[in-house]
Chain A
């Protein structure tokens, strides 16, 4: 019990005094996961819209696969990206291994299926007539998709935030492709893993508190948006 409270107090101290190493790690986590989430959103939202919009053979199967990939294990993504960007891999010449860029790539792969799937789900929640209306108003396909995506902006924003949560909380992939290098690729989760195995529990707790705080702030943000949206609808 004492260990936990001591660790907690020390953790609070580390945070309040803005311990530079911890702030640096938190900043890097935010940087990597934000960029990865934005990149994933830019890739995944159009893909989701296209899958929703067009009727094609095997559509159901594609959606099933996408949904299965929600649970894509982070270490598998890590391994895949590692093999791709390793010096002896096909993209070895880009010298991406053990860089934040490699971590961003891994997280993009990790969270894109989640965004694709949730975008499809959000769009499928619209009345069928809404899609018909865009067609009847003679929108080109991309204009129609833009209109429909805009119509589901709150649901899609929630999806993106959920993806950010998965990105910033994952450890397996960034550990493998980032290498947890101090001052370069160490993030909140890899630092927690390291400090725990070094027995530095208080540092781990401090980092954990920061991670939880980020998750909380982000979730409050989403709830605020959803609440706002819901209130408008009730008016």
Chain B
């Protein structure tokens, strides 16, 4: 009996050593920490992991990035659980700022949503505008045409908001006419990657951000092709906000301000513009600073003026 307990003791000690080894990562003079809430579709591209490593090395600030659906990300920002919010949902951002939660709103990059689908395009919507395309899908779907499926995130994410906007500008009432209107319209309630995989398995059409699509296309031979990639409603704008110290005075506004200014600086913008070229052959994001004037529609956001540290 004693022997068994001794063996068990050794096992516990080994376990503790492994744990300790796993948890103590080499750290030079205690970096400060900046908490960032972001959305899965942005995080899943890997851009922010690259930024995290680079920023820690050069500025000695640890970016603690938590990625959630847009709704949850905004909720944790509203609870004051993070210092910075990094999302891509203009209407929700505007509400967030109007309610006094966010300050120092800056655009950092953009790319386009695209509608992808089976290579043979059974609905024949290639070349249409996004609005025409979805209208056709709805028509065929309602008629019960074989092989016509549209997959939606259905999770109030930024991508889902963009999709709802397209339905709206195509003349449909989303709640009354689209969601739950038949077997052709399937909501996954999952992240972008999972929804793309589902879509690929079903041979369905789906609205996606380009970056996640390219990542997926490369990593798992996603059997979906780009069907529609032009149209004003497909713009996907990424922006950053600092949580207002008026709401939560104990957040890390200093690092938040510095990080925002780094992102819109030449160095930051070049970092964003270069990300993905090596792997995918083209950048996943276009830096906002490449625009002549980003404050004009459809972008409507400042991307040049450095921010100053807000005070309570």
The yes or no answer to B76 lying at the interface (CB within 8 A) is yes
Q: Are B19 and A27 in contact (CB under 8 A)?
A: yes
The yes or no answer to B22 lying at the interface (CB within 8 A) is yes
Mark interface residues in B217-233 (1 if CB within 8 Å of A CB, else 0): 01111100000000000
Given contacts A179-B66, A198-B219, A199-B216, contact A92 B22 (CB under 8 A): no
Smallest CB gap from B197: residue in A: A199
Q: Are B4 and A225 in contact (CB under 8 A)?
A: yes
> In residues 163-206 of chain A, which contact B (Cβ within 8 Å)?
179-184, 194, 196-201
The yes or no answer to B90 lying at the interface (CB within 8 A) is no
Most buried by A among B49, B64, B192: B64
The yes or no answer to A221 lying at the interface (CB within 8 A) is yes
Q: Which residues of B lie under 8 Å from residue A24 when comparing CB positions?
A: 22-23, 25
CA distance in complex: A194, B44 (Å)? 8
A154 to chain B, nearest CB (A): 10
Binds B, one of A28-36, A45-53, A122-130: A28-36
Q: Which residues of A lie under 8 Å from residue B43 when comparing CB positions?
A: 194
The yes or no answer to B15 lying at the interface (CB within 8 A) is yes
The yes or no answer to B237 lying at the interface (CB within 8 A) is no
Smallest CB gap from B33: residue in A: A184
Q: Which residues of A lie under 8 Å from residue B221 when comparing CB positions?
A: 3
Instruction: In the A-B complex, list the 9 residue pairs whose CB atoms are closest, starting with the nearest.
Output: A27-B22, A179-B66, A87-B80, A197-B193, A199-B219, A31-B19, A88-B79, A86-B79, A197-B191
A201 to chain B, nearest CB (A): 6
Q: Which residues of B lie under 8 Å from residue A100 when comparing CB positions?
A: 23
Given contacts A201-B220, A221-B11, contact A23 B64 (CB under 8 A): no
> In residues 197-220 of chain A, which contact B (Cβ within 8 Å)?
197-201
Q: Which residues of B lie under 8 Å from residue A180 when comparing CB positions?
A: 66-67
Most buried by B among A31, A182, A196: A182
Mark interface residues in B157-190 (1 if CB within 8 Å of A CB, else 0): 0000000000000000000000000000000001
CA distance in complex: A92, B248 (Å)? 11
Q: Which residues of B lie under 8 Å from residue A132 when comparing CB positions?
A: none
- The answer, among A28, A86, A225, A228, for a CB contact under 8 Å with B23, is A28
- The answer, among A28, A88, A181, A194, for a CB contact under 8 Å with B22, is A28
CA distance in complex: A221, B7 (Å)? 10
The yes or no answer to B65 lying at the interface (CB within 8 A) is yes
> In residues 87-131 of chain A, which contact B (Cβ within 8 Å)?
87-89, 92, 97-98, 100
Q: Which residues of B lie under 8 Å from residue A179 when comparing CB positions?
A: 64, 66, 68
A95 to chain B, nearest CB (A): 8
The yes or no answer to B81 lying at the interface (CB within 8 A) is yes
